[in-house]
A = this chain, B = another copy of it.
Amino acid sequence: MTWSSTSAAPRGERPHITLFGRRNAGKSQLLNAITGQNLAIVSPVAGTTTDPVLKAMELHPLGPVVLIDTAGIDDDGGELGALRVRKSLDMLARTDLALLVVDAAQGWGEPEERLLDLFRRRGTAYVLVVNKADILTPAEREELARRLPSAPTFVSAERGEGVNELLRQIVDTLPGDWALPTIVGDLFDPGDLLVMVTHHDAGAPKARLILPEQEVLRDIIDHGGLALVVEDRDLPLVFARGIRPRLVITDSSVFGPVAQIVPEEIPLTSFSVLFARYKGDLETLVRGVRELPRVAPGDRVLIAEACTHPTTEDDIARVKIGGWLRRRTGDQVHIDYHQGAGPLPEPLAGYRLIIHCGACMLNRREMLSRIVQAREAGVPLVNYGVALAYMQGVLRRGLSPFSELQALLDEVPSEGEEAKDPRSAKPASGRGSP
C-alpha cells in the first residue's frame, strides 16, 4: 500500500461507486470479483443482505473508495420489496459513479431503461457492465451491444474475466481529477521541520519557485510543518546548526551530493518521487523499475510522453534513459516513442517495459488510466523520475520514507553500480522479445 494514510481517509472524501441492477444480475459476485483482485477490505459495514451494503476499501491503484452493493431494483415482493427498491435508489444521492450491471442471461430490458433514465436525469456518471458474459457467443455479444445506449464492458465475475478492463472504465469515468488530499502531509506530524533542497544554476528562472516546489512547500505549511528551504550548496549549514529535520526533500538533479550530506538516519526523498506517488501509483512504478536492468537485446521498450511539446527536463530524461538502455543492450534495444494525451498506443502487449514522462500535464486520473491500461496488457510501467533515480543509484535512498517499497528493490541488482558500469549487467531474465 503506497498511500499510508488510506485508512484514515474519512468516508466523506472517498468516491462512492454503486452497483445497480436486477436481482441475480451478479452484483454481489461482481463486487467480490473486484474485491478479490483489487481490494483490501478496511471496514465492512454491517447490514442485511437486502439493505444496501457500504464497504470502505483501498481500490488499487485508485486509492480509498466506498463500494456500495444494492438490492435488485426489480424486486416485486410487495410492500417489503418496494421498500428495498426505494432504499437501493436512495443510494443514488451518495453515488459518484454508478455501475449498471446487466445480466447477460436476461439482456437489456425495462429495469435497465429505468435505471439509465434515472442516471441521466440525475446527471450521475455511469458504466454499463454486462455480467455472465461467458455464456454469450461473440455474435450474441455484438447483438446485445447494439441494443445498449453505449458500448458495455463484458465481464464474467464468476471467472474473473474483464475485471481489469472494468477497473479502467471506472478510472476513466469516475468524476473529478482524483487528486490525493496531500503530497507529503501524511509523512510528518504537525510541528515537524522539513528541509526542501533547491538547486538554481545560472540558467534557472529568476525570482520564482517552480510549481512542484511551490506545491510541496504549501503542502508542508498547510499541514502544520515548518519548511526550511535551502540551496544545495548551503545544506551543510542546516546540520551544522544542529537542526534535525523529519524529512529532507531534494531537487533530483543534486540527489547524489545531497545524500552525502544528509545523515543516514534522516529520511531523504526527491520532489520526483513525491510527485510519482501523488500523480500516479508509486508501487506500480517501483515494480516497473525492477524491469529496467532486465531489458535485454532484442526487447521493445515504449517511451511515452503526455505532451507533444515536452519540457527541457523531459528531453534530458529521454536522452539519458534511451542512452542507458542502448549501452546496456549493446544498441540492440528497440525503442518506440509516443507523444500525446489519451490512452497509450495499442497493442501494448509486445513491450518489455513502458517508460512514462513525469505526467506534469496529466491529472492523477489520467495517469492512473494509463497505469491500469498497462496492467491490462501485462506490461510493467515506470516513469522518468523513478527510472533516473534508479540509474543514478539513489532510488533506494529516495524511497526511505516508504520502507515497504524499498523492500521491492531487494532482489534488484545494486543500482549505483548498474548506472556506473554497464558491463556489470546481469543476464536478462528469460522473457524473449515479442
Contacts and interface: CB of A to CB of B under 8 A. Distances in A.
A231 B221 contact: yes
Nearest to A227: B229
A198 B221 contact: yes
Interface stretch (A63-71, A234-242, A265-273, A338-346): A234-242
A234 B229 contact: no
Candidate in A214, A226, A241 with the most chain B CB atoms within 10 angstroms: A226
Given A208-B214, A214-B209, A217-B229, A193 B241 contact: yes
Nearest to A183: B207
Nearest to A216: B207
A228 B231 contact: no
A92 interface: no
A158 to B, nearest CB: 45
Contacts of A228: 193, 226-229
Nearest to A222: B200
A219 interface: yes
Interface in A93-119: none
Contact of A215 (B207, B220, B230): B207
A206 interface: yes
A414 to B, nearest CB: 34
B217 A209 contact: yes
Contacts of A237: 191, 226
A229 B238 contact: no
A227 B225 CA distance: 14
A224 interface: yes
Contacts of A326: none
Nearest to A208: B214
B241 A231 contact: no
A229 B219 contact: no
